[in-house]
Structure 1
């Protein structure tokens, strides 16, 4: 039954035309595995705010508002580990160096007030953000899934991410960078400083930094190095 529900969701992914329909569908399917809530978003790094990075919001009413108001993403072990891990993980598999801090424990305790006690996270690369994660949440004390069930959930998450990217492609060009921004990032990839690039291109250092900032914003990252890596991944530049 679980397998049929998962593959049914995968088959329907391409037919969804908005994130609301996608959210309803994946919530219905993931409930069969014991997950009542989820969030799909970019992973905040370097002081980024969570709210503008959210693509699917299926958290309990009130929890998202409190989470953002208190900037819990700075100390939430799930959020922090999602930026570091390339592989899916149960929340209780996160090393204690991140779960054991007073700040992280506070986030966990407050989450339980809203019926969130355990979960399973699927980090992934995405077009819009440096790193994204689809995090499933449960009111159960532990997530007891077989490896097969985990594989089904990961596959569902990947297809949900692909659907989100399809929505984005419908709203913006696949290549989000201007030619000058690409040029600046190419020189940054060669290890050139903003001053070096200004000399090479015959423009001011301030203008170079302006192009770097615009490229970071267009790619949804916080540093120029991340922008270089993301631009290469998107095949926008070819060092």
Structure 2
């Protein structure tokens, strides 16, 4: 088995986000890219990426960078984000230097990135499965590697990097990711709702009172930031928080 095949198999079999991310960041650092951002949303609408609280974001950038890139809203004016929203595939950051139509806001983001040492790399935009979804990765080269150096790396390893990145992205879509934690009982009642059961049915199945079932449904809606139980089922399913194999390992019981 080749090194790439062995690595892809390890990514595919990763049981958690943490394992997946550790495997990928180590390999990418070996290739010269030591700072990564992976982002995914199911709530895209036009140029809007939806509520940041609903995004899935993995990164190994330091807090000093991410607090400003996300917290100060630079992400919304980043030129490579604009590119990713309009395209699929991989794009060299040389596109920024060669673009004559950057807006003033995009130029501010470019200057911010330069001040933080985020100057050379590639952006990978993953093929969307619907109009509401979008996923992308920004891979930043190690300090001291110029964009010309990145192009040399890409010429040799670009195909493998694209394949690895797509496998990581697709694997991310299958793993539970608790942006807003549900308890074991909240997941159970949502699962029974998803199976078409009404409150009285769920109370009988779980040996609870209907009032207790309603309480868990209410708390699940609050935890997920939605107004209806149907929306809670949908959001929980989006983040693979239902019908998971090992619910006892995550959250509390009541």
RMSD between aligned alpha carbons?
A: 3.7
Q: Is the 8 A contact 2:11 2:24 kept in 1?
A: no
Q: Is the 8 A contact 1:39 1:56 kept in 2?
A: yes
Provide the rounded CA distance (Å) in 2 between the counterparts of 1:18 and 1:90. 30
Provide the rounded CA distance (Å) in 1 between the counterparts of 2:72 and 2:112. 11
Distance 1:49 1:62, change over 3 A: farther
TM-score scaled by length of structure 2: 0.59
Provide the rounded CA distance (Å) in 2 between the counterparts of 1:134 and 1:114. 18
SS of the residue aligned with 1:39?
A: strand
Provide the rounded CA distance (Å) in 2 between the counterparts of 1:127 and 1:152. 22
Provide the rounded CA distance (Å) in 2 between the counterparts of 1:72 and 1:97. 20
Provide the rounded CA distance (Å) in 2 between the counterparts of 1:6 and 1:113. 35
Matched with 1:59 is 61
Query: Any residues of structure 2 matched to 1:82-231 within 5 Å, and which?
Result: 82-94=84-96, 96=99, 100-125=102-127, 130-138=133-141, 139=143, 140-142=145-147, 143-144=150-151, 145-168=153-176, 214=231, 218=235
Q: Is the 8 A contact 1:122 1:134 kept in 2?
A: yes
Provide the rounded CA distance (Å) in 2 between the counterparts of 1:101 and 1:169. 35
Gaps of 5+ in 1: 173-177, 179-209, 221-239
Q: Is the 8 A contact 1:121 1:136 kept in 2?
A: yes
Distance 1:86 1:126, change over 3 A: closer
Runs of 4+ in 1 over 6 A off after TM superposition: 169-172
Instruction: After TM superposition, give the deviation of residue 11 of structure 1 in Å.
Output: 1.8
Distance 1:47 1:158, change over 3 A: closer
Larger Rg: 2
> Which digits, 9 at most, give the CA deviation of each residue in 1:8-51, with x for residues without a partner?
32121123222122112111111122111111112663262445
Matched with 2:8 is 10
Provide the rounded CA distance (Å) in 2 between the counterparts of 1:17 and 1:53. 21
> Which digits, 9 at most, give the CA deviation of each residue in 1:51-78, with x for residues without a partner?
5313422222321111122211221001
Gaps of 5+ in 2: 188-193, 195-226, 239-254
